[in-house]
A and B are shown apart, each in its own frame.
Chain A
Amino acid sequence: MKKTYKIDVDCANCANKMEEAANKTEGVKNAVVNFMTLKMIVEFEDGADAKEVMGRVLDNCKIVEDDCEIFF
């Protein structure tokens, strides 16, 4: 399952860090952050609950970059 989320972040390097953090999150198979379009495209692992996983993704992103937001 693949879903696209709108995100809000100020700098390109922070976007890269978010991508890295999202990829390390349990339940995420692959995540790509596109800083120019401010989007995060997340491919979930089979059977993962998107909403629950995204909660964890946001928590992990907040650790690396406090000033970020994911709309899900």
Chain B
Amino acid sequence: MNKKQKKMLIRIIIALILFIGLKLVHLPEMANVILSLATYFLIGYDILTKAVKGILKKQVFDENFLMAVATVGAIALGDYSEGTAVMLFYQIGEWFQSYAVGKSRKNISELMDIRPDYANIQNENGELVQVDPDEVEIGTIIIVKPGEKIPIDGIVVEGNSTLNTSALTGESLPRDASVNDEVISGCINLTGLLKIKTTREFGESTVSKILDMVENASSKKSRSENFISRFAHYYTPAVVYSALALAILPPIVSFLMGMDPNWAEWVYRALTFLVISCPCALVICIPLSFFAGIGGASNAGVLVKGSNYLEALASTKYVVFDKTGTMTQGVFEVSGIHHASIAEDKILELAAMAESYSTHPISKSLLQAYGKPVDKERIKNVEEISGYGVIAQIDDKEVLVGNDKLMKKYGIEYKPCHDVGTIVHIAIDQEYVGHILISDKIKPHAKEAIARLKEVGVKETIMLTGDVKTVANKVASDLNIDKVYSELLPQDKVNKVEELLEKKQEKEKLAFVGDGINDAPVLSRADVGIAMGALGSDAAIEAADIVLMDDDPLKIAKAIKIAKKCLRIVYENIYFAIGVKIICLILSAFGIGNMWLAIFADVGVMVIAVLNAIRTLNVKKL
């Protein structure tokens, strides 16, 4: 509780005691009136002054003004206790709202409490000193003791340990870290002492980026939020004008028809309208639900860049995947060398050399299988043709390393492979010398992940890949993926996604899931771009709308579930709050409802909606 809230709570308690006391004790008329008014001013003086200030600034639809008119009106009609009660409960409602919002702000920031407070460095005398992570320069050696958070991204230079990444990924299985491993800020060092050479400044480190993303997340507003803002914009004036009409028209009509105008009754009904006119419950519970949803999601390792994306994710009907790195591990291994017309070692050496400048996962696996350092002096004029392969001059011979398409392009006859996997053909000076078979492993949870997606209401799963048809079809049938498009160049993927976007209906959303490498354009083109395994990849964090911190495909279904729960609560709140208000307005107009009902419609609805909104935070069991 802050100072303001404490002060208000004391006022509320005193006013409540006075209010109940006056109900129980029978005082003489005069004393009762004076004490009632005293209670009223005690609880409402700030609202009254704000109302006056509002009038001076011509802000008539200000809730302070409305509340002041309603309560002063009630008191003028002689209903001292109702006037005071309305003010009292209004203040209780405001206090509760402010307390609940403050509390959930705190809860959510605690969930995301991954900000490291200090970094340990060694000073000239060899002693450990704690410094502000902001002051650590790139290349500094920092020391992380067991139990401490890694403050800055870097590479381990000494020590072995296991890391707990759960604050970042929601994944409880620890990771191993040893010399030359890249480690990411925000992880907790569990077992051994690590010396880490920093590779980034604190502000550029993963932990800062994530915090920045989560803190600015709900700035992109969802349709529901915009709807409520617009609704609130018209709701209050509409209710106030109908209150005015209710106070004037029926009495005049009755009077003209020769009946008793009954002014007091109609004015009273109009005043109850004013109490219901405050849109607070609606306006607070929608952003609060989204905020809690985003907070809960980030605790589960799903970072959402805005409430609009949470909304789109909830109505996702099509999920498009990239194969490599998403459904498969993206760790390729050379599993065979076939049709070799020269020594197999030589083929591997040439392939590794030609691909040594490429960052493609296939190239990495070739280099790994080769296992020796590459003499870059022997390689000249490397040209990488995206989607085809590489052409390079090695030892003054032209070497082509690539897929079927590259061979066709240069008119080289090649031998197809009967095994399933990625085939890398090699030709020297236009002559075919054999091919290398590389295969990738399907992720352990991939099949279950696809099944879960169907459970959460996804209509169709589609896989896009640059890989050959045989591999793509095999992976798709193993995983029960509905459709597969293979042998696509990076730009084809964008076209394919655009095609799919055109075919679907407006309300059904399409999500693209990729690993963030090479697929940034597709990520941004889809309704929802989901990057997975993005820990440490800046490009993915930039391009995606939703970031899955680890690379477990089960998280996709989990993210959709979180979004659905959040949206369900949002709609519950919208229907509940608007519904109750409208029913209370109708009841009051016909004189069935009274001020007490109006207070419930205002404060009660808000309390219930806020409590419901906070439920979104709990996503553990989804």
Please state if B283 and A12 are interface contacts (CB–CB under 8 Å).
yes
- Interface of chain A: mostly helix, strand, loop or mixed: mixed
State whether the Cβ of A36 lies closer than 8 Å to any Cβ in chain B. Answer: yes
The contact string, 1 if C-beta is below 8 Å from chain B, for chain A 1-43, is 0001000001111001000000000000000101111110100
State whether the Cβ of B115 lies closer than 8 Å to any Cβ in chain A. Answer: no
Q: List 11 A-B contacts (CB under 8 A).
A: A4-B216, A11-B97, A12-B280, A13-B63, A13-B278, A34-B218, A34-B287, A36-B288, A38-B105, A41-B219, A64-B62
Interface residues of B, count at CB 8 A: 27
Task: Identify which of B54, B63, B221, B291 contacts A66 (C-beta below 8 A).
Answer: B54
A64 in contact with B59 given A11-B97, A16-B232, A36-B101 (CB within 8 Å): yes
Please state if A10 and B215 are interface contacts (CB–CB under 8 Å).
no
State whether the Cβ of B57 lies closer than 8 Å to any Cβ in chain A. Answer: yes
Residues in B with CB closer than 8 Å to A12 are 101, 280, 283-284, 287-288
State whether the Cβ of A69 lies closer than 8 Å to any Cβ in chain B. Answer: no
A13 in contact with B279 given A4-B216, A35-B287, A36-B101 (CB within 8 Å): yes
Residue of A nearest to B54 (CB): A66
Q: A11-B283, A63-B57 are in contact. List 20 more A-B contacts (CB 8 A).
A: A4-B216, A10-B94, A11-B98, A11-B280, A12-B280, A12-B283, A12-B284, A12-B288, A16-B229, A34-B218, A34-B219, A34-B287, A35-B101, A35-B284, A37-B215, A37-B218, A38-B105, A41-B216, A64-B57, A66-B50
Q: A9 CA to B372 CA in the complex, in Å?
A: 63
Q: A37 CA to B215 CA in the complex, in Å?
A: 7
Please state if A11 and B284 are interface contacts (CB–CB under 8 Å).
yes
Q: A38 CA to B101 CA in the complex, in Å?
A: 11
The contact string, 1 if C-beta is below 8 Å from chain A, for chain B 311-322, is 000000000000
Please state if A32 and B50 are interface contacts (CB–CB under 8 Å).
no
Q: How far is the CB of B237 from chain A (nearest CB, A)?
A: 13
Q: A70 CA to B99 CA in the complex, in Å?
A: 21
Contacts between chains A and B (CB distance < 8 A), count? 63
Residues in B with CB closer than 8 Å to A35 are 101, 284, 287
Residue of B nearest to A63 (CB): B57
Residues in B with CB closer than 8 Å to A39 are 215-216, 219
Q: A37 CA to B291 CA in the complex, in Å?
A: 9
Q: A41 CA to B62 CA in the complex, in Å?
A: 24
State whether the Cβ of B483 lies closer than 8 Å to any Cβ in chain A. Answer: no
State whether the Cβ of B53 lies closer than 8 Å to any Cβ in chain A. Answer: yes
Q: A70 CA to B222 CA in the complex, in Å?
A: 24
Q: A10 CA to B47 CA in the complex, in Å?
A: 13
Residue of B nearest to A32 (CB): B219
Q: How far is the CB of A54 from chain B (nearest CB, A)?
A: 18
Please state if A10 and B98 are interface contacts (CB–CB under 8 Å).
yes
A13 in contact with B219 given A36-B288, A66-B50 (CB within 8 Å): no
Residue of B nearest to A10 (CB): B98
Residues in A with CB closer than 8 Å to B218 are 34, 36-37
Residue of B nearest to A34 (CB): B219
The contact string, 1 if C-beta is below 8 Å from chain A, for chain B 33-62, is 000000000000000001001100101001
